[in-house]
Structure 1
Amino acid sequence: MAERTDPATRDAPWPVGVMSDKIAEWVDRLGQVWVEGEITQWQLRGGHVYGKLRDLERDATVSFTVWRSVAQRLSSEFAQGDRVIALVKPNFWVKGGTLTVQVFDLSHVGLGELLQRLEELRRRLAGEGLFDAGRKRRLPFLPQRIGLVTGRDSDAEKDVIRNATLRWPGVRFRVHYAAVQGDRAASEVTAGIAALDADPEVDVIVIARGGGDFQNLLPFSDEALLRAAAAAATPIVSAIGHEADRPLLDEVADLRASTPTDAAKRIVPDVGEELAALDGARSRMSGRIGQLLAHETERVGQLRARPAMSRPERIVDERAEELVRWIARGTELAERAVADRERELSHGRARLGALSPRATLERGYAIAQLHGAEAGAVLRDPADAPAGSELRITLAGGRIGAASTGPA
């Protein structure tokens, strides 16, 4: 069929096929273009992806196709609600009269810029010490009430409560429901932390979500949420459940659990294990006390078998005999010492009497002393008593006065 170049008129209209061919030519001349929009439909069939992309502001939607060869090269996971930038080539299907676009490349909007901002926030918070191990608090051994921030009717809520109750049936929960993805998630989770932290009955707070892709986890790297978690007086457990893309809440929290189930296992002890440990401790204590009592009983028996304990009066008898000997020996020594001292005293008295001036006087000697200004001076030289000097003569029987006539 020849190509129609003449304009279409009422009298000479184009066939539908001609119009469709021209539309296809016009669309094909557009080539590849970069477009931005929101994924409203994402279906995987036979390795190919079929979906729809909606304008962010206007009411405009196009269908797109990602062939298997392109889908296998995509480095990220995509889902409904993601904001993306796509390299596409529009195609007009003549037979069906529909416009579709073929996707050659696809990425999340601003992913590189977003990663850079997260890395800058990570460095800043690390510099402030919010990630330091020294500031992390230990969880109580057995919390009486667990605060749980999670989505309403979520699998994460069921996993935490079920597994914690299985481990310790008496544990109680206070649940604060919050959005765990989307624009409201960060503020609602922050409000949940504040509410549970203000509750004096809550001993530990668990923030739980059942994993998700990178963008869905972004609220858990919000700075306001991170600072609220760091400032909380109650220990925080992060149970976001994603290993590849860890949100910054994992770094700030006092404990990071890999999944909500793992969080339940780490915040409450297992009652069976604890009872078994108590039984083991009780058995060890009983065995040890039994050994100690047996040892002490044997030691007491050995002490009682000693002679000092079997016949204690023998020690008294032996010491009594020894005491009598020492008394006799002491008496003998004392009497001998007294006799020796009496003899020494008698000899000393005789020597003293022999050396006494009175004994000399009794043999006829006298002591001449001046009487007057130099009274008491014993005369040893006649020149010391000139004529007329008053004298005092001491004899064995007493004293007499006299006057010196000078040297004879």
Structure 2
Amino acid sequence: MAIEQGPPTADNPWPVALLGAKLRDWIDRLGTAWVEGEITQWNVAGGNVYGKLKDVEVDATVSFSIWSSVRSRVPADLKQGARVVAAVKPNYWVKGGSLTMQVVEMKHVGLGDLLERLERLRRTLAEEGLFDPSRKKRLPFLPHRIGLITGKDSDAEKDVKRNAQLRWPQVEFRTVHTAVQGERAVGEVTAAIVELDADPEVDVIIVARGGGDFQNLLGFSDEGLVRTAAAATTPIVSAIGHEADRPILDEVADLRASTPTDAAKRVVPDVAEELANVRQARARLGLRLSHTLSVEADRIAALRSRPALASTAWLVDTRAEEVARDLSRARELLDRRLERSHSEVGHLTGRLRALSPRDTLRRGYAIVQRTDGGVVRGTEDLDGATPVHVTLGAGTATGTLEPEGPGPDGSGA
């Protein structure tokens, strides 16, 4: 049956073989391309290698195959988790309808390239202030519960817990086991940081791993993981345990520990050491208090030995003389005051007597009043024989008055 190569239509469709052949021919024209990624699957079968290569930044994966003839020319230490560059040639298998990347050449990513990328990221984060000491949070003096992110049954986990509990037996842990290398490490460690940061009972978070080669630690320099750690509100301790090449997580963490053991020692205080410090502080306080009391006792003794306090009789004697002087002066002043007052009273008495109506009456005058109390000033105040009451200088008298005629001054009397 001849294969019709005209434009496919519903009435004249292409056979599957024709479509596969066209895809194969078109893909073959792409030639060889160099790509970079991380090996996430590495299976050896019959001398050939079948694996998957994952993009280092986004979620994209392709399958690849290395035939036995090529495998002898690639590094023998390639394995899952390695970061590589590879020359691949797309290959479409018509019979199976699958697309694979046939590896022509593969090698480790150059260390210089990786370091350059990390340095660019390091500079970017530094310019954003994520490395500034001012933004780093203080660790609690005695954490009630420690969040631990590490590999399951790892030496790092054992070192942290053993050393922390030796220093403070009551310390508690909440452990989240994650992958600490490979394609799952970044996502799992990032999720663990978010989970522990959201737990209000976790006072500090330790990310621990027992060292490793440079490429195995690349996940701890991942930008997403580092930014998640920087955004956490709970203090984070980085205990990756790698002195030669420090991951970027060490720069962002609130505290960097050289090893998991060092992390335990720096996060948890030593109960024996703290008890010794308490004893020393109490001893210093006791000495300081004893010295203060001794100084004050000497000061009181010195004050009591002064002449002013040695005998108190002088206080009474001095005050007695002052009281006698004040009493004498008070008597003198009182006498003067009484004398002046007596003189003033005599003077006022004289004035009062001079102005008194009774003294006028004593000189021979009298006050004549009718029985109704009215004063008789002239004959016009008399109505015939009028009963009157007369007040004299010494005593009173009653009688009757009759008008006679005007007196020498023209008034009646």
Once residues 302 and 139 of structure 1 are traced to their aligned partners in structure 2, the CA distance between those partners, rounded to angstroms, is 52
SS of the residue aligned with 2:227?
helix
Once residues 233 and 74 of structure 2 are traced to their aligned partners in structure 1, the CA distance between those partners, rounded to angstroms, is 51
Report the CA distance between 1:313 and its aligned residue: 4.5
Once residues 281 and 127 of structure 2 are traced to their aligned partners in structure 1, the CA distance between those partners, rounded to angstroms, is 45
Question: Could you report, residue by residue, the CA deviation over 1:36-89 in whole angstroms, capped at 9, with x for unpaired residues?
Answer: 997979xxxxxxxxxx994651153434698xxxx9xxxxxx6643344699xx
Identity of aligned residues (%): 60
Q: What residue in structure 2 maps to residue 58 of structure 1?
A: 65
Task: Report 1:1-400 matches (<5 A).
Answer: 54=49, 56=51, 57-58=64-65, 60-61=67-68, 62-63=71-72, 80-81=79-80, 82-84=82-84, 108-109=108-109, 111-329=111-329, 331-332=331-332
Counterpart residue identity of residue 60, structure 1: W
Counterpart residue identity of residue 266, structure 2: R
294-303 or 57-66, which moves further after superposition? Answer: 57-66
Question: Could you report, residue by residue, the CA deviation over 1:267-306 in whole angstroms, capped at 9, with x for unpaired residues?
Answer: 1111221111111111111111112222222333333444
SS of the residue aligned with 1:194?
helix
Question: Could you report, residue by residue, the CA deviation over 1:339-391 in whole angstroms, capped at 9, with x for unpaired residues?
Answer: 99999xxxxxxxxxxxxxxxxxxxxxxxxxxxxxxxxxxxxxxxxxxxxxxxx
Report the CA distance between 1:221 and its aligned residue: 1.1
Counterpart residue identity of residue 328, structure 2: A
Q: Give structure 2 stretches of 5+ with no counterpart.
A: 1-33, 52-63, 88-104, 344-413
Relative to structure 1, is the Cα distance of residues 276 and 137 closer, same or farther in structure 2, using a 3 angstrom cutoff? same
Relative to structure 1, is the Cα distance of residues 254 and 35 closer, same or farther in structure 2, using a 3 angstrom cutoff? closer
Relative to structure 1, is the Cα distance of residues 291 and 35 closer, same or farther in structure 2, using a 3 angstrom cutoff? closer
SS of the residue aligned with 1:238?
strand
Once residues 274 and 229 of structure 1 are traced to their aligned partners in structure 2, the CA distance between those partners, rounded to angstroms, is 31
Question: Could you report, residue by residue, the CA deviation over 1:248-276 in whole angstroms, capped at 9, with x for unpaired residues?
Answer: 11111000111111111111111221111
Conserved 8 A contact 1:190-1:228: yes
Conserved 8 A contact 2:74-2:106: no
Q: Give structure 1 stretches of 5+ with no counterpart.
A: 1-33, 42-51, 72-77, 88-104, 344-408
Conserved 8 A contact 1:180-1:189: yes
Once residues 295 and 83 of structure 2 are traced to their aligned partners in structure 1, the CA distance between those partners, rounded to angstroms, is 79
The TM-score, its normalising length taken from structure 2, stands at 0.58
Once residues 118 and 196 of structure 1 are traced to their aligned partners in structure 2, the CA distance between those partners, rounded to angstroms, is 27
Question: Could you report, residue by residue, the CA deviation over 1:131-173 in whole angstroms, capped at 9, with x for unpaired residues?
Answer: 1111000101111111000000111111111111111112111
Question: Could you report, residue by residue, the CA deviation over 1:207-236 in whole angstroms, capped at 9, with x for unpaired residues?
Answer: 001111121111111121111111111000
Report the CA distance between 1:310 and its aligned residue: 4.9
Report the CA distance between 1:316 and its aligned residue: 2.1
Question: Could you report, residue by residue, the CA deviation over 1:311-361 in whole angstroms, capped at 9, with x for unpaired residues?
Answer: 434302321112212432465578679999999xxxxxxxxxxxxxxxxxx
Q: What residue in structure 2 maps to residue 74 of structure 1?
A: none
Once residues 270 and 295 of structure 2 are traced to their aligned partners in structure 1, the CA distance between those partners, rounded to angstroms, is 37
Counterpart residue identity of residue 58, structure 1: S
SS of the residue aligned with 1:58?
strand
Once residues 224 and 237 of structure 2 are traced to their aligned partners in structure 1, the CA distance between those partners, rounded to angstroms, is 17
Once residues 53 and 123 of structure 1 are traced to their aligned partners in structure 2, the CA distance between those partners, rounded to angstroms, is 42
